[in-house]
Amino acid sequence: MPSRCQSAVLAVIVAATLTPSAAVGQNAPAPQPFRPGLGDLMTMLVQPRHLKVGLAGMERNWDYAGHAVHELEESLEKVAKTVPKWRDMDIAGLIEGSTKAPIEALEEAVKAKNIARFNEAYTQLTAACNACHQSTKVGMIVIQAPKSSPFANQDFRPTKP
């Protein structure tokens, strides 16, 4: 059985390791909140959603395509709310003005399970993205329909009942 002295030393060691030092806490700068920029949000949120919509459409996975279109729409709304203005441009207005009609057309094509209408709407959406990039002077960013899937861990084919 440990002596009283050993128990006291052990208690001090445990307390010291579990309690942050006041000296360390006073000198350490407070962590800054993560504030992604417009490019970060487009790359993290919008681009993968656009890609997944295209992959779901190519596989005629209408259930997933409907979900992916909804997720893309929400991602665009988040970007518009987070970065409504960029430089001197109305990003929120550009996003809504350029993507609303193509997204509605995608939703209709998915509901109808019509691949021709889907492809036309997806092409219109992709063109709208590229037109927006041109108008905001980042025309070097060119979005296209996927040629293959970078999502090796996701199957975009419709599930069989």
* Sequence-distant contacts of 40-48: CB under 8 A, at least 24 apart: 41/78, 41/79, 41/82, 41/83, 42/79, 45/75, 45/78, 45/79, 46/72, 46/75, 46/76, 46/79, 47/143
Kindly list the averaged pLDDT for each block of 10 residues, start to end, along the chain of length 161. Answer: 54 52 66 94 98 98 98 98 96 97 98 98 98 96 96 94 75
Q: End-to-end CA distance of the chain, in Å? A: 66
User: Domain ranges in the chain?
Assistant: 38-135
What pTM was computed for the model? Answer: 0.80
38-135 is classed in which CATH architecture?
A: Up-down Bundle (1.20)
**Cβ proximity of 55 and 144 under 8 Å:** no
